[in-house]
Structure 1
Amino acid sequence: MEPVEVPRRSLLTAVTPAKDGAPATGLRALPLLPALTPAGRRSRVPPGRSGRVFGELRMRWSFDLTCRDADATAKVNFQERAGEILIHVDYRPFRGGLILNRLTGGEWQEEKLLWTPKEGNPADTINVTVETFESGRIVLRHPGGTENVDWTDAHTLGTCRIWLEGTVVRGAEAAEDSAELRGWRLYEKPSGFPCGNAKLRAKSEPGVLEPGLSFIIRARNEARTVEACIRSIAGLGDEIVFVDNASEDGTGLIAEKLKSGIFELKTFSYPHRLPKVGAAHAREVLSGGSNTLGHFYNWCLAQSGRMNFVKWDADYIAIRQNLAEMIGLYSLRTRADNFALWFSGLEVYTDGSRLWVDRESRHAEFRAFSLQHGTQWVNLPPWEEIDQRSLYRAQKLFYRKPVYLEIFRLDGTEFDDRGLFTEDRRDAERQEIVATFRKSGRLPERFREIASLTDAGLAETPLSAQEIELSHHFDKRFRARPKIHARKTKTLHPAEAVPQNEYAVFILSCQKNADRQRVIRESWGHDLDRLGIPHYFIIGRPAQPTQLIGDVLYVNCPDSYEFLASKVLAAIEYSMSVMNVDYFMKIDDDCVFDPYRFQAAEYSKYDYVGGGFAGGDNAGIDWHLGKCHNEQLDLVPYFREPGFNWVGGQYGYMLSRKARYLLVKQADRMRSSLYEDYIVARILAERGIEPVFSFGSQRSALYSDQWDEMSNVCLISDVPSAAKMREVYRKFVGEDAGDRWAWEFTGSHEAIWDWMDIEAVRQKLGV
Structure 2
Amino acid sequence: MAPHISDIPSLEGLPDYDVTWPWSRGERLAPGLTCVFRVRNEARNLPWVLPPILSAVQHVLLVDNGSTDGTLEVAEAIAAECGAGDRFTGLTYPHAVARAGGEHLATPATSVHSLTHFYNWCFSHVRTSYSMKWDGDMVLTPEGAGILRDLAWQLETTQTIVSMPRHPLTVVDERTGWLDLSLRFLEPWVYPMGPDFTFVKAFDWELREYPAGVERLVLQQGLCVEVKWLDADEYAHWRTEGVDFTHTRLYRKLREFEVDEAIRAGRAESLGGLVRVDAPEGVHIIDHVTRTWLRQQPRPLVTHSLPASLRERTPREQEVQR
Contact 2:131 2:192 (8 Å CA) reproduced:
yes
1:227-246 correspondence to structure 2 within 5 Å: 227-246=47-66
Distance apart, 1:373 and its partner CA: 5.8
Contact 2:35 2:57 (8 Å CA) reproduced:
yes
Alpha-carbon displacement from aligned partner over 1:723-763 (angstroms, at most 9, x marks no partner): xxxxxxxxxxxxxxxxxxxxxxxxxxxxxx553387xxxxx
Match of 1:715 in 2: none
Match of 1:338 in 2: 159
Q: Which one has a bigger Cα radius of gyration?
A: 1
- Aligned CA distance change for structure 1 residues 253 and 361 (closer, same or farther; 3 Å): farther
Match of 1:306 among 128, 138, 148: 128
Letter paired with 1:278: G
Contact 2:51 2:79 (8 Å CA) reproduced:
no
Question: C-alpha distance in 1, partners of 2:29/2:231?
Answer: 42
The yes-or-no answer on 1:464 pairing with 2:302 is yes
Question: C-alpha distance in 1, partners of 2:234/2:295?
Answer: 25
Contact 2:104 2:203 (8 Å CA) reproduced:
yes
Distance apart, 1:459 and its partner CA: 3.2
Match of 1:271 among 90, 94, 108: 94
Distance apart, 1:381 and its partner CA: 2.6
Give structure 2 stretches of 5+ with no counterpart.
1-16, 280-284
Distance apart, 1:317 and its partner CA: 0.7
Match of 1:351 in 2: 172
- Aligned CA distance change for structure 1 residues 420 and 316 (closer, same or farther; 3 Å): farther
> Secondary structure, in 3 states, of the residue corresponding to 1:240?
strand
Question: C-alpha distance in 2, partners of 1:428/1:246?
Answer: 26
Question: C-alpha distance in 1, partners of 2:237/2:92?
Answer: 17
The yes-or-no answer on 1:755 pairing with 2:315 is no
Alpha-carbon displacement from aligned partner over 1:265-308 (angstroms, at most 9, x marks no partner): 2111111111211111111148x744111111111111211111
Match of 2:45 among 225, 229, 249: 225
Match of 2:277 among 434, 441, 449: 449
> Secondary structure, in 3 states, of the residue corresponding to 1:221?
coil
1:174-193 correspondence to structure 2 within 5 Å: none
- Aligned CA distance change for structure 1 residues 295 and 301 (closer, same or farther; 3 Å): same
TM-score if structure 1 supplies the norm length? Answer: 0.34
> Secondary structure, in 3 states, of the residue corresponding to 2:287?
coil
- Aligned CA distance change for structure 1 residues 393 and 465 (closer, same or farther; 3 Å): same
Distance apart, 1:256 and its partner CA: 2.2
Alpha-carbon displacement from aligned partner over 1:63-94 (angstroms, at most 9, x marks no partner): xxxxxxxxxxxxxxxxxxxxxxxxxxxxxxxx
Letter paired with 1:284: T
Question: C-alpha distance in 1, partners of 2:195/2:158?
Answer: 8
Match of 1:324 in 2: 146
1:525-564 correspondence to structure 2 within 5 Å: none
1:56-95 correspondence to structure 2 within 5 Å: none
Letter paired with 2:192: S
Question: C-alpha distance in 2, partners of 1:291/1:441?
Answer: 39
Question: C-alpha distance in 1, partners of 2:244/2:131?
Answer: 26
Question: C-alpha distance in 2, partners of 1:754/1:289?
Answer: 25
Match of 1:635 in 2: none
> Secondary structure, in 3 states, of the residue corresponding to 1:260?
helix
Match of 1:283 in 2: 106
The yes-or-no answer on 1:434 pairing with 2:260 is yes
Match of 2:213 among 393, 396, 401: 393
1:591-610 correspondence to structure 2 within 5 Å: none
1:619-630 correspondence to structure 2 within 5 Å: none
Match of 1:404 in 2: 224
Contact 2:199 2:206 (8 Å CA) reproduced:
yes
Question: C-alpha distance in 2, partners of 1:420/1:323?
Answer: 36
Match of 1:365 among 187, 210, 217: 187
Letter paired with 2:118: F
Q: How many residues align?
A: 280
Alpha-carbon displacement from aligned partner over 1:656-701 (angstroms, at most 9, x marks no partner): xxxxxxxxxxxxxxxxxxxxxxxxxxxxxxxxxxxxxxxxxxxxxx
Contact 2:57 2:152 (8 Å CA) reproduced:
no
Question: C-alpha distance in 1, partners of 2:184/2:130?
Answer: 25
TM-score if structure 2 supplies the norm length? Answer: 0.76
- Aligned CA distance change for structure 1 residues 237 and 412 (closer, same or farther; 3 Å): closer
Alpha-carbon displacement from aligned partner over 1:323-366 (angstroms, at most 9, x marks no partner): 312541x4446604321111112111112332221122432211
Letter paired with 1:382: D
Letter paired with 1:337: T
- Aligned CA distance change for structure 1 residues 393 and 417 (closer, same or farther; 3 Å): farther
- Aligned CA distance change for structure 1 residues 332 and 341 (closer, same or farther; 3 Å): farther
Contact 1:360 1:463 (8 Å CA) reproduced:
no
Alpha-carbon displacement from aligned partner over 1:464-483 (angstroms, at most 9, x marks no partner): 2224987xx99xx88xxxxx
> Secondary structure, in 3 states, of the residue corresponding to 1:259?
helix
Q: How high is the sequence identity, in percent, across the aligned residues?
A: 21
- Aligned CA distance change for structure 1 residues 438 and 469 (closer, same or farther; 3 Å): closer
**Per residue, is there more helix in 1 or in 2?**
2
Question: C-alpha distance in 2, partners of 1:367/1:266?
Answer: 19
Question: C-alpha distance in 1, partners of 2:202/2:135?
Answer: 20
Question: C-alpha distance in 2, partners of 1:433/1:345?
Answer: 15
Match of 1:413 in 2: 233
- Aligned CA distance change for structure 1 residues 274 and 467 (closer, same or farther; 3 Å): same
- Aligned CA distance change for structure 1 residues 757 and 234 (closer, same or farther; 3 Å): closer
Contact 1:412 1:435 (8 Å CA) reproduced:
no
> Secondary structure, in 3 states, of the residue corresponding to 2:117?
helix
Contact 2:170 2:228 (8 Å CA) reproduced:
yes
Letter paired with 1:341: V
Distance apart, 1:372 and its partner CA: 4.0
> Secondary structure, in 3 states, of the residue corresponding to 2:189?
strand
Contact 1:322 1:401 (8 Å CA) reproduced:
no
Match of 1:694 in 2: none
- Which is further off, 300-309 or 255-264? 255-264
Contact 1:420 1:427 (8 Å CA) reproduced:
no
Contact 1:239 1:265 (8 Å CA) reproduced:
yes
Alpha-carbon displacement from aligned partner over 1:131-187 (angstroms, at most 9, x marks no partner): xxxxxxxxxxxxxxxxxxxxxxxxxxxxxxxxxxxxxxxxxxxxxxxxxxxxxxxxx
- Which is further off, 452-461 or 231-240? 452-461
Match of 2:116 among 291, 294, 298: 294
- Aligned CA distance change for structure 1 residues 203 and 441 (closer, same or farther; 3 Å): farther
> Secondary structure, in 3 states, of the residue corresponding to 1:396?
strand
Contact 2:169 2:226 (8 Å CA) reproduced:
yes
Contact 2:33 2:152 (8 Å CA) reproduced:
no
- Aligned CA distance change for structure 1 residues 450 and 218 (closer, same or farther; 3 Å): farther
- Aligned CA distance change for structure 1 residues 757 and 310 (closer, same or farther; 3 Å): closer
Contact 2:37 2:62 (8 Å CA) reproduced:
yes
